[in-house]
Structure 1
């Protein structure tokens, strides 16, 4: 059988570009059962959700569309089952597949109030991030673009803004020697998947400072690692983007340049808890905030068991 693996990974940086690469993030395999059914299964490197575009280049003696958009969650599972039209004959098939992190068009929980991404009591200055493709490469910023820098005067602990599962950690880049650059795409990062399918990407960690691991469930205020600075003229900080997968047009994204590529992801403008007089507010660029929280925000998405395990 002909099988071609085409992996699509999103560089969830402020550049928001897409790279197709052969890798082992997700693999699809198959088995033929005695009843001639064909099971298409997947294995993944992490617990995060992926959208898989499965294209049948040959499909004989089984019905269904040639292209199928499917969801893969957990480490392994069933993607699809092919049933023979004629039970006395086997299915002839060949396929290729591509994939991208995230659940396609998830139902977003707009009632969530996020906490600021530092330890309680810390002070942070907020600045809205520009869309780097538009600033440097002539692209057009998405209509819903929203990203933030959160600065601190000294090195400080970055904390989770919402409950979720750590699905990716990149701890590759040296942070001991800041350089004078306008922007830098090579930053250590963590991606946390939330229960509604949104993804929070935090970028700018000090190398070797991560306090969590892939697969770990974190809560609002959970320490993730230390912030860093990539430029001597900038303070310490972390970048935060909250996204969701809105398109699975992976073929359309292939071969696009930085000037023409369109984001397959939509961007969320979170409501943050800033004080007791506000249940949640959109942050103001240039504003200084003290990190606050409430027990209700921390426990909102917790299970009963998780709540019982909280320190008294």
Structure 2
């Protein structure tokens, strides 16, 4: 028999879109099972910090991690140490988007997220701090951008699920260097990472939340004509990792793109023509998905 009971804890939101709730249950042996309810489309990684543990031992240590999958799932256990003593506990928790334990079978290669045949100028983006302060020299990796001359279709660079978007903004001011608000679409991947594509034309989305997409599927139309550098698409791939203290954080990671017949990292600015090879489009497809693709 399990008895539902309340405990005292503090939770810290890491995303305004996440809706993660936590509850605790005591089993017949006096152990505490902690469950999370996740109303979003994707997993979230939860980190617990137990500040008060009386006669209870957390599986995974003081900074235990758990993965809250969509719906309700068990994310942590506190085991009773001495059967003849009472128990008490308190904790706080934080959560970040993605599954820290998910992995790729092989290193993924991404399509340049632009329709095939377009010539683009690709390069690493600079940290916004360098834009705001002329004396700044922040070389933190923050993603890549691809410039092009005309309005183009923006496509999915990798298989995934559409999990977030904002496509309501209408471009206004001219000759922008940057803006804090812009249209974007996010795609979550099976290895726990997600891609964010920014600088999209307002109202041009061709996909909806929860939709599965494959490399080359059209997502939206490009924007950026009001930027001083012209039309472009910006792209980041983000994952969860631990910092030096063992706390969770987001990190934008470099990835390889399909350029001139192979997977290549985009470093210094260079021009190339976008290719959508079949072997990359089908690389992460299941047998069922591949059969459906071949039948089209």
TM-score bracket, shorter-length normalisation: 0.7 to 0.9
Partner of 1:156: 152
| Match among 139, 144, 147 for residue 141 of structure 1 | 139
Q: 1:250 to 1:25 in 2, by over 3 A?
A: farther
The 1-side partners of 2:259 and 2:247 are apart by: 40
The 2-side partners of 1:43 and 1:134 are apart by: 40
**Structure 2 alignment gaps of length 5 or more:** 1-6
Asked whether the equivalents of residues 99 and 191 of structure 2 are also in contact (C-alpha less than 8 Å), the reply is: no
Partner of 2:46: 52
Tell me the SS of whatever aligns to 1:246: strand
Asked whether the equivalents of residues 21 and 36 of structure 2 are also in contact (C-alpha less than 8 Å), the reply is: yes
Asked whether the equivalents of residues 162 and 208 of structure 2 are also in contact (C-alpha less than 8 Å), the reply is: yes
Tell me the SS of whatever aligns to 1:5: strand
Q: Give the alignment's TM-score, normalised by structure 1.
A: 0.79
The 1-side partners of 2:266 and 2:18 are apart by: 38
Structure (1/2) with the larger strand percentage: 2
**Structure 1 alignment gaps of length 5 or more:** 10-20, 254-263
Q: Do residues 197 (structure 1) and 195 (structure 2) align?
A: no
The 2-side partners of 1:286 and 1:251 are apart by: 35
The 1-side partners of 2:82 and 2:246 are apart by: 33
Partner of 1:14: none
Q: Do residues 298 (structure 1) and 284 (structure 2) align?
A: no
> After superposition, what is the alpha-carbon deviation per residue over 1:182-239, rounded to whole angstroms, capped at 9, x for unaligned?
2112112222222223321111122222222333221111111122127353422210
Q: Do residues 67 (structure 1) and 71 (structure 2) align?
A: no
The 2-side partners of 1:67 and 1:38 are apart by: 16
> After superposition, what is the alpha-carbon deviation per residue over 1:82-105, rounded to whole angstroms, capped at 9, x for unaligned?
232344666322221111223337
Q: Do residues 39 (structure 1) and 33 (structure 2) align?
A: yes
Partner of 2:215: 220
Q: Give the alignment's TM-score, normalised by structure 2.
A: 0.83
Asked whether the equivalents of residues 201 and 220 of structure 2 are also in contact (C-alpha less than 8 Å), the reply is: yes
Q: 1:75 to 1:134 in 2, by over 3 A?
A: farther
